Structure 1
Amino acid sequence: MKSKLVLQQRALVFTCCTALTLLLINNTSQAQQKERPNPADAVLKIEPLPPELEQILKNWETHSKKIEKLEGNHTRYWYDDVFQVEKLSEGKFYYEQPDKGRIDITGVEVPKGAQGQKRNKDGKPYQLKP
């Protein structure tokens, strides 16, 4: 008889634990299903630009339309903060209206003993590479 009583107690404890778990899961899921804001209802608010900036942008657009061809030289600095490396390259860029462009980049000979411009948190310069 004792064994039946123990089995009944275990079954009762198991049933209570299962019911409690289901109640907790139900309450948690209901709490997570609260009404969320609908992004489709959100209105995109754009602040007006200051008149001075508007004028600068209009002038830039007007003068940029007059450029048919443009080419020049550039220097590129690329920093790898993980390995503390600074890569230096030079090149040329070309642009032709309405939508043609090209950038040529080549490595630069790094003289011995040259140090990078960027420094790490200890003040040591990054290793300079072409």
Structure 2
Amino acid sequence: MNPNDRSYTREHEWIIVEDAGTRRALVGITHFAQDQLGDIVYFELPKVGDTVAQLGKMGEVESVKAVSDLYSPVSGEVIEINSALTDRPELTNEDPFGEGWLVRVTMSDATELDSLLSAEEYNAFVAEQH
């Protein structure tokens, strides 16, 4: 269920490095997170140019069930937000690992990835939560 090509947080975000040379990476929430939230109706995301800190709050997601904080898997600068989510936040419900991504960042310290979970570790973590 969770792709092996990315890393995960215990707060249910994922990150995939798109370009190691420029330290560019894409961030989103996991299938488990969107499933627990239910129908997503709104995102409050950081702005382009904002600096995020590893495991620091970077925004909020609002669903029909609750409002939850979003946390950045790594430190860095936000270089793009998924503007499609403004009109269609449900994209994250439909395709959390693809079209429903949240932000693109330039990582300030790629070694932070080492502290995140692999897909296998994340799957075990989620299984323990039930």
- TM-score when scaled to structure 1? 0.21
* Structure with the higher helix share, 1 or 2: 1
Higher relative contact order (CA 8 A, sep 6+): 2
* Structure with the higher strand share, 1 or 2: 2
- TM-score when scaled to structure 2? 0.21
